[in-house]
Amino acid sequence: MTDHFKGRQFKQSVITFAVGYYLRYNISYRDLVEMMRDRGIFVHHTTLMRWVQHYSPIMRALWRKRRHRRTSKSWRMDETYIKIKGQWNYLYRAIDDQGLTLDFQLRKKRDFNSAYHFLKRLLKTYGLPHRLVTDQYGATLKAIKKLTREGYLHKGVHQCSKYRNNLIEQDHRFIKRQQVRSASYQSTRTAARTLYGIETMHAIHKESRKKLGLFGFSAYQEVEQLLAA
């Protein structure tokens, strides 16, 4: 088991509390500094930022590793807009018909290559779905046609349905709440690491809520359990 906290000045519980609550709730680093100060913990906001940047990719990798492969075979795929340093970028996302997160990826462009590579990775990870629902954006349809020719998808699997795709449109709302925070992103690398951490926490929260109902979720405990795996 890898010790992800070895050599850190602060205890594991302090780091997981800070990282978990920043990624789960729409708060700033300075707000988090005040929350921790009320608990007798004095830490600079730049230290919190370094923790989030360091642990978010680790959390994503561990979540992807533990994500159960026997997922529902009815998927929804779409993308949402994220502004980084004044430029629009695109976060590709996929969920199943239970609302659970399958995968996500930040891309600079909304085009054929972005849709193709995201869908190809999704199919390689989870296998062939029974149904794949998307919007009618031309680049996405072109990517699906190529994947069908290559044998990654079967004919008749893909559907364009605004009604069926409402599920992922509603799921976008959690990410869109981060738009004020995303206005401060100064690089794609920083944005990707933070957004991947936010998406991972959102995915864990949905899985925990499904298992335990509306109660039983604690942001820092979920981070602690994930990083201790």
Model pLDDT for residues 139-154, shown as the tens digit of each residue: 999 999 999 999 999 9
CA–CA gap between residue 97 and residue 174 (Å, rounded): 17
CA–CA gap between residue 111 and residue 214 (Å, rounded): 38
CA–CA gap between residue 199 and residue 175 (Å, rounded): 8
What pTM does this model have?
A: 0.87
What pLDDT score does 214 carry?
A: 45
Count CB atoms within 10 A of the CB of residue 75. 24
Average pLDDT over residues 190-213: 85
CB 124 within 8 A of CB 228: no
Model pLDDT for residues 145-182, shown as the tens digit of each residue: 999 999 999 989 999 977 778 889 889 888 877 655 65
Average pLDDT, the chain: 86
What pLDDT score does 74 carry?
A: 92
What pLDDT score does 142 carry?
A: 96
Nearest of 186, 133, 203 to residue 162 by alpha carbon? 133
Nearest of 91, 99, 76, 72 to residue 162 by alpha carbon? 76
Determine what percent of the chain is predicted with pLDDT higher than 70. 90
CA–CA gap between residue 55 and residue 66 (Å, rounded): 16
Partner residues linked to 160 by β-bridges: 134
Query: Tokens in use for 159?
Result: 């559907």
Average pLDDT over residues 42-46: 94
What pLDDT score does 69 carry?
A: 59
Partner residues linked to 201 by β-bridges: none
DSSP-derived pairing of the beta strands 131-134 and 158-160: parallel
Angle, helix 166-176 to helix 188-212, in steps of 10 degrees: 120
Q: Does residue 133 sit in helix, strand or coil?
A: strand
Residue 138 has pLDDT above 50, yes or no: yes
Residue by residue, DSSP assigns 67-114 as S-S---SEEEEEEEEEEETTEEEEEEEEEETTS-EEEEEEES--SHHH
Model pLDDT for residues 100-124, shown as the tens digit of each residue: 999 999 999 999 999 999 999 999 9
